[in-house]
Each structure stands twice: as structure tokens, then as C-alpha cells.
């Protein structure tokens, strides 16, 4: 694990493996049980990481509201809310989104050329500058920065391009995938975007747990590549 923070991907997907429809609409096909599960997983994290596309789709993020989960965070000496960390190379985000009015700590990860777009504003408590490697974010360095800032557990909510880039650097430890009883088909986003991996380099998983709640399956995986 190289003494870095622990990462868990948390996503709902359709039976045919889509995380949104072909129009990239906000994914609202999960049940109330899935939303409860998502809040529980987020409550365990020190930070929540998601891409700008995910934020644009929703305009908001999930905070921890359940009293018992808030009490558990306090008992673990965590902050009342996990830090919400947005990844945006362009840093083109609308300050009118409800996300910026939510009572949560907000951080931004962007590239050097756009570091000044939010510098003099109050929306983000901290702006992290991502070193680039051939126009790609160097996630290993960013994760080192997050660990140095006191984060130990990170929940990752998408989208698929972000998850693909983290998998490529073996920076995903666990995945919670909710399988929902619906099919979208077509050219819709999947949990892992990007150009993909050839078969011999596919990221292997170990199934840790399966739970069925009504019509949904909750699948818990370990990314075994990180344990080699």
C-alpha cells in the first residue's frame, strides 16, 4: 500500500454495467436502500473525491446527515463532514451550483495553468495543484499530498474517467458496486472509462461480500493488484 491513503470506489450501476444513461444524466436509478448505503460508506471517509463531470450532473454532493453516522464520526475523531474534493483540469465550475452553498468543506484539484481561477475566492478552502505527466494528472503525487494533509480514507464517486486513471496507477483498494434492476443499453458511461485495458492487463478483483436488499445487490470487491 506504500503508506498511502485507503481508497474505496462507491457506485450504483445497471444490470448492463452503466452508471448513467447515454445523455449522462444524473444517476437516480438507485433505491432508498442504495442512498442509505452510499451515505454509510461516505461517513467512513475523511474525503470524497469526484470529477467535475459528476458534479455538473448533480450540482450538489451527498453530505452526512444521519445522526448515528455523525456521532460515529465524532467518536472516531473525524470532522463532522468529509472533505469534498473536486477534480477539474479546466477549473470551470459554476459558483451558483448548490454544491457551493452546502455546509461542507470543499477542496479543488486542478492543473498549474488554472490554479488562479479560484485563488481569490472563498468557495474552496484549499486548492491542490496536480503535477502533469504527458497531460495526465500524476495521481501518486496528489495522493501523497492528501495523506500529508491528514486524510487516511478516501471515497471515490466517479466518474469513469477518474476511476480509470486511478486504476491505471493501482490506486484503488476496494469497490462497492450496487447492481440495480434496470437496463440502459447503448453508448452509456460505465464504471471505468478511458481507453481501457487489454485482457492481459485487466485489473483483477476479489469478491469480499454480497448483500441482497430487496431488488438490489451490493457487491464488495478488493482490488487484488494492490496487494501484490
The answer to whether the CB of 156 falls within 8 A of the CB of 166 is yes
Cis peptide before 159 (omega within 30 of 0): yes
Strand partners for 218: 178, 211
For residue 84, which of 99, 95, 66 has the smallest C-alpha distance? 99
CA 103 – CA 223 distance, rounded (Å): 33
Quick one: how far is CA 19 from the chain centroid? 13
pLDDT of residue 120: 82
CA 89 – CA 163 distance, rounded (Å): 15
pLDDT of residue 130: 86
On the 0-12 / 13-18 / 19+ scale of CB atoms within 10 A, 99 is buried
Sign of the four-CA dihedral 227, 222, 14, 23: negative
CA 42 – CA 157 distance, rounded (Å): 9
Strand partners for 171: none
**Helices 32-43 & 67-75, crossing angle to 10 degrees?**
20
pLDDT 10s digit of each residue in the chain, 228 long? 445 799 999 999 999 999 999 998 888 999 999 999 999 999 999 999 999 999 999 999 999 999 999 999 999 999 999 999 999 989 999 999 999 999 999 999 998 888 788 988 899 999 999 876 655 788 989 999 999 999 999 999 999 999 999 999 999 999 999 999 999 999 999 999 988 999 999 999 999 999 999 999 999 999 986 444
Read off the DSSP letter of residue 227: G
Which residue, chain included where needed, has cell 451515505? 39
pLDDT of residue 133: 64
Domains of the chain: 13-227 (3.40.430.10)
For residue 89, which of 18, 142, 151 has the smallest C-alpha distance? 142
CA angle 82, 223, 182 (to 5 degrees): 75
CA 50 – CA 83 distance, rounded (Å): 11
pLDDT of residue 228: 41
3-class secondary-structure state, position 208: strand
Amino acid at each position: 500500500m506504500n503508506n498511502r491513503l485507503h481508497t474505496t470506489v462507491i457506485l450504483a450501476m445497471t444490470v448492463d454495467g452503466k452508471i448513467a444513461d447515454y445523455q449522462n444524466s444524473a444517476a437516480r436509478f438507485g433505491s432508498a436502500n442504495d442512498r442509505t448505503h452510499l451515505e454509510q460508506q461516505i461517513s467512513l471517509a475523511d474525503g470524497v473525491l469526484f470529477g467535475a463531470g459528476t458534479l455538473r450532473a448533480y450540482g450538489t454532493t451527498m453530505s452526512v446527515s444521519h445522526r448515528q453516522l455523525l456521532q460515529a464520526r465524532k467518536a472516531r475523531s473525524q470532522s463532522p463532514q468529509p472533505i469534498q474534493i473536486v477534480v477539474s483540469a479546466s477549473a470551470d465550475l459554476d459558483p451558483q451550483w448548490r454544491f457551493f452553498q452546502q455546509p461542507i468543506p470543499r477542496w479543488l484539484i486542478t492543473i498549474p495553468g488554472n490554479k488562479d481561477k479560484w485563488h481569490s475566492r472563498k468557495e474552496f478552502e484549499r486548492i491542490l495543484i496536480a503535477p502533469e505527466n504527458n497531460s495526465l494528472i500524476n495521481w501518486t503525487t496528489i495522493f501523497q499530498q492528501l495523506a500529508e494533509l491528514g486524510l487516511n480514507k478516501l471515497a471515490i464517486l466517479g466518474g469513469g474517467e477518474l476511476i480509470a486513471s486511478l486504476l491505471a496507477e493501482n490506486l484503488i483498494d476496494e469497490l462497492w458496486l450496487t447492481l440495480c434492476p434496470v437496463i440502459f443499453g447503448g453508448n452509456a458511461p460505465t464504471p471505468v472509462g478511458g481507453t481501457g485495458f487489454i485482457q492481459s492487463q485487466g485489473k483483477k478483483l476479489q469478491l469480499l461480500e454480497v448483500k441482497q436488499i430487496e431488488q438490489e445487490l451490493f457487491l464488495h470487491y478488493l482490488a487484488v493488484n494492490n496487494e501484490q
